[in-house]
Structure 1
Amino acid sequence: MLKWIDIVKFINNGNPVPDRRVEKTDAQWVLLLEPEQFRVTRKKGTERAFSSEMCSYFEPGKYACICCGTLLFDSAQKFESGTGWPSFTQPVKQNAVAYHKDISFGNVRVEALCATCDAHLGHVFPDGPQPGGLRYCMNAVALKKVESTERKATFGGGCFWCTEAIFKLLKGVVAVESGYSGGKIANPTYKEVGSGKTGHAEVIEVTYNPAEISYDELLRVHLSTHNPTVLNDQGTEIGTQYRSIIFYRSEEEKAMALKILDDVQQLYNQLVVTQLEPFEYFYKAEDYHQDYFNKNPDAGYCQAMIVPKLEGFKELYKDKLQPNLQAND
């Protein structure tokens, strides 16, 4: 998660390298853009406040650069700032946006640009909501809404290497990332979380297509692939960071989780201790934790702990595996 100190570092030390670059002359851009789009994005203009309905749209979706189509923001990070321009707390990726010092009009501000094509998007300020504290104040005309049916879910149930490996096999799951949620500090490190002092749980953030797999099904998979009756203990993984937990993003998800927890309780003589908390923020874990099993299949932990879990999972959920895995089986 980016914070103001990171933005300052980018300005002073250089911006992250974008995934790609698109470079055109003004003569080429003017043929591709509407006059107001060209004025704002290529000539660093500003649209009139409250001139776009985009400020009040909060339905699921993503926002891309009007010039080059690079994905910049997700509606999950959009908030009502009251300024008259669409506002976001974070970009979709750290290298999606570039930052330059702007001293026009006698003020010192931070200009936000598309890192791919240098389109002027707006400005970023350090007065946004916590935990990041950033407000990306964007010109609506610089963005285009990209409809998306994807949803996100966040679960914890032991070591995230195991849970990530399991959920990556499910049909309808688009992506799985390992990280931390539910704690007291921003941007925790693996070492800090492992101390048990930050309050975070090791979790996975699942991006999924609800047309192929439902939230209900994800919950049932989650609760059947670890022991939900043991407090802060999943075999060799002991501590609050390994607790069984579900983070819900809406009252509908909360109600569904409560129902399924009740269903699961009927299967056990012991009390199900899975925690249910409102989702606040997901902090992506360090790069070496991502896709750990597929990158280290022969590691001792993977062979001893993850492989047996995957074998049992594949047998239990044959009909929910990714199509290529079903064919292999």
Structure 2
Amino acid sequence: MLNWNDVLRFADAGNPTPDRVVRKSEEEWKAQLSDEQYHVTRRKGTERPFSSGMCSLFEPGLYGCVCCGTLLFDANEKFESGTGWPSFTQPVKANAIAYHADRSHGMTRVETTCNTCGAHLGHVFPDGPAPSGLRYCMNAVALKKQAASLEKATFGGGCFWCTEAIFRELDGVHSVESGYSGGAVDNANYRQVCSGSTGHAEVIQILFDPAIISYRELLEIHMLTHDPTTLNQQGADRGTQYRSIIFTHNNEQRQIAEDLLASLKDGFRDAIVTQVAPLETFYKAEDYHQDYYNLNGGAGYCQAVISPKLRKFREKFKAKLAS
């Protein structure tokens, strides 16, 4: 989950790398966009407040960049800010948005642009609701509503390098972030969590399309790709930070998790010790932990632990893999 410090860091030190880049000439943008869309997105204009019905639209869905189609926001992160512009608390992915210091009009603000095509979207402010405290104040004409809606799932099952590598390969999974949850220390770092003193577990947070892969299917994969019967331990990794846990985002997820655990209890020789708890706050881990296996595949831990686990996973769940 991004916070104001992340926003300031991106605006000051450089933005995250986008998944892709789209560049067009001004003539091509003009031919593609309406006059107002072009004025806002390519000339950094601002639409009139309360001029769009999108402000009061809260039905499920996704919002993409009107210029390049890149997914930017999920309706689940939308809230009524009373400002006259659509407002969100988080982008769908940390690298979907780029941030730039804006000192125009005698103010100091942080401009937001599409990290794929550079389209001006609006600004972000540190006066949004908890837990992120962010308000992405967007021009409605810069966004295009899409029918699908993404959901989040948060699991812990040992070292997050392992679990992240597995879930990144599934069809319907939009993104996976490693992080910490379930403890009592705000913004804990890796060293603190590894000490076992914070109460946090190493977890992954998955953004997925339920039309392609269901929450129950994700849970089944989670339960069958780690040992849910060893208390505070996965292999050689020991400590409460490696506990088996399912953090639920709503009551429906809680019920699905409890039903699944009940249905699996006779399938294991030992008792399942997996915890089910409501998610309070997810703290994204340091950048060097993200996509660790793909970026460090030759490292000893990756070769000895993650690669064999991935091979078993791919064979067992090959029908669920992204093409």
| TM-score of Structure 1 vs Structure 2, range by shorter chain | 0.7 to 0.9
**Letter paired with 2:114:** C
Contact 1:63 / 1:143 at 8 angstroms: preserved in 2?
yes
Q: Which residue of 2 aligns with 1:218?
A: 218
Matching of residue 112 in structure 1 with residue 106 in structure 2: no
Q: Which residue of 2 aligns with 1:247?
A: 247
**Letter paired with 2:179:** G
Q: Which moves more between the two structures, 213-222 or 115-124?
A: 115-124
**Letter paired with 2:98:** V
> Cα deviations across residues 291-315 of structure 1 (Å, max 9, x unaligned)?
4445555644345444554455456
Distance 1:197 1:57, change over 3 A: farther
1:127 Cα deviation from its structure 2 partner: 0.6
Distance 1:59 1:204, change over 3 A: farther
Q: Distance in 1 between matches of 2:10 and 2:308?
A: 44
Contact 2:122 / 2:138 at 8 angstroms: preserved in 1?
yes
Contact 2:164 / 2:177 at 8 angstroms: preserved in 1?
yes
Structure 1 length-normalised TM: 0.79
1:211 Cα deviation from its structure 2 partner: 4.2
**Letter paired with 2:47:** E
SS across alignment from 1:213? coil
1:145 Cα deviation from its structure 2 partner: 1.9
SS across alignment from 1:162? helix
Q: Distance in 2 between matches of 1:125 and 1:294?
A: 34
1:2 Cα deviation from its structure 2 partner: 3.6
**Letter paired with 1:322:** L
SS across alignment from 2:51? coil
Distance 1:275 1:33, change over 3 A: same
SS across alignment from 2:155? strand
Q: Which residue of 2 aligns with 1:260?
A: 260
Q: CA RMSD in A?
A: 3.4
SS across alignment from 1:152? strand
Q: Which residue of 1 aligns with 2:97?
A: 96
1:5 Cα deviation from its structure 2 partner: 3.5
1:87 Cα deviation from its structure 2 partner: 0.9
5+ long unaligned stretches in structure 1: 325-329
Q: Distance in 1 between matches of 2:79 and 2:98?
A: 18
Matching of residue 66 in structure 1 with residue 66 in structure 2: yes
Q: Which residue of 2 aligns with 1:134?
A: 134
Q: Which moves more between the two structures, 149-158 or 280-289?
A: 280-289
Contact 2:62 / 2:150 at 8 angstroms: preserved in 1?
no
**Letter paired with 2:101:** H
Matching of residue 178 in structure 1 with residue 178 in structure 2: yes
Contact 2:74 / 2:149 at 8 angstroms: preserved in 1?
no
**Letter paired with 2:40:** V
**Letter paired with 1:219:** L
**Letter paired with 1:101:** D
Q: Distance in 1 between matches of 2:143 and 2:174?
A: 24
Contact 2:72 / 2:96 at 8 angstroms: preserved in 1?
no
Contact 1:70 / 1:116 at 8 angstroms: preserved in 2?
yes
Q: Which residue of 1 aligns with 2:235?
A: 235
Q: Distance in 2 between matches of 1:110 and 1:263?
A: 49
Q: Which residue of 2 aligns with 1:327?
A: none
Contact 1:229 / 1:273 at 8 angstroms: preserved in 2?
yes
Q: Distance in 2 between matches of 1:93 and 1:228?
A: 30
Contact 2:16 / 2:94 at 8 angstroms: preserved in 1?
no
**Letter paired with 2:222:** H
CA radius of gyration, larger in: 1
Q: Distance in 1 between matches of 2:302 and 2:9?
A: 38
Q: Distance in 2 between matches of 1:39 and 1:323?
A: 38
**Letter paired with 2:225:** T
Q: Distance in 1 between matches of 2:168 and 2:284?
A: 16
5+ long unaligned stretches in structure 2: none
Distance 1:169 1:21, change over 3 A: closer
Q: Which residue of 1 aligns with 2:276?
A: 276
Distance 1:213 1:116, change over 3 A: closer
1:156 Cα deviation from its structure 2 partner: 0.7
Distance 1:127 1:262, change over 3 A: same
> Cα deviations across residues 107-164 of structure 1 (Å, max 9, x unaligned)?
4433333345554322221111233322111111121123435443221111122223
Q: Which moves more between the two structures, 119-128 or 176-185?
A: 176-185
> Cα deviations across residues 188-230 of structure 1 (Å, max 9, x unaligned)?
4322321223332212233444344322222122223323233
Q: Distance in 2 between matches of 1:234 and 1:17?
A: 32
Contact 1:72 / 1:97 at 8 angstroms: preserved in 2?
no
Identity %: 58
Distance 1:271 1:84, change over 3 A: farther
Matching of residue 196 in structure 1 with residue 196 in structure 2: yes
